[in-house]
Structure 1
């Protein structure tokens, strides 16, 4: 079989269209994409160039004209829902980051206030150690808010972007004998 050399073409070889779709035990209307296929598409898309639209080709043993519409609908629905879930996750991360920042700032204020009550020129080592410990602990209290606001959103944004790219990608079903259905 001829291999597609397009740089942003995702080509997956599957047994059949039925293997591409999830078992029909979902309470939701419409066909669903098989979870393993979805994860594979996300992983493959993550390796592709970012500024070029993706194209998806599924190579299957059997295909029928109606299969293409079912596959496209399942794929679009799956990745649009993934993007919506990622958007909700982003909101949650930033909401938690704001709350953690407020709590962290309150802890910093209290602990630095306590540290400043201890005489920095005290001849006692224990007093100096306590002062430094309160200061260090105060700044450690800001670690999680900084992590949330600066870094935790990055993989979620990446997954949302990939999901939107996959939802927008044109889809082709190719019979193993080489004929393209759509």
Structure 2
């Protein structure tokens, strides 16, 4: 089978396998279009997709030994792989919504607690002007601000890596797939997921 002509902006991820069955989790009894990818294959594809420039189209080339049994044709494999990454993207979206919801709830609790701490600190200062009162007042302010550390961390930083994963999974859900039969394939003892 002759290699497919690719667009100029294609970023090619090449995987060399003994059989197309190695793409999928062997313990998953689901129909092909609902099956999970093998964890090593998924990690390999995802790591290479992370390296791809943002303006490129992702293209997966699956190298199989000549005459190797196929699980399905290119179109079906492409649909199964795309469906897997769409499902993973939806899962990450739910994870991010849950995290941001937790951040908003934590921020609300943190702001209420900070307000209570500020009020208590001012009350302590008005009651007496001793060094102990000043220390207690400052301690209340510090505790109030520390209580807001987690919501600030969530709302400013923690969602960003998840957003990056969502972007990669979205790109992978539009991945094109090509099967090439060439060479003998990996030998026994060699890793079956290998850069071609």
TM bracket, shorter-chain basis: 0.7 to 0.9
Q: Which residue of structure 1 lines up, in the alignment, with residue 187 of structure 2?
A: none
Q: Matches of residues 1-182 of structure 1 in structure 2 within 5 Å?
A: 8-23=11-26, 25-26=28-29, 28-31=30-33, 32=35, 33-61=37-65, 62=68, 64=70, 66-119=72-125, 124-177=130-183
TM-score, normalised to structure 1's length?
0.84
1:66 CA drift (Å): 3.4
The number of aligned residues is 175
Q: Give the C-alpha shift of residue 141 in structure 1.
A: 1.2
Whole-Å separation in 2 of the counterparts to 1:112 and 1:48: 49
- Normalization by structure 2: what TM-score? 0.79
The CA RMSD measured in Å over matched residues stands at 2.7
Q: In 1, distance between residues paired with 2:75 and 2:57?
A: 20
CA deviation vs aligned residue, 1:119-161 (integer Å, no higher than 9, x gap): 2795533222111111111111111111111111111111111
* Structure 2 portions without partners, runs of 5+: 1-5, 185-196
Following superposition, the deviation at residue 90 of structure 1 comes to 1.5
1:44-69 C-alpha deviation (Å, 9 max, x unpaired): 11111112111111112225493423
When residues 121 and 24 of structure 1 are mapped into structure 2, their CA distance, relative to the original with a 3 A threshold, is: closer
Structure 1, gaps ≥5 residues long:
none
How far apart are the structure 2 equivalents of 1:56 and 1:96?
A: 37
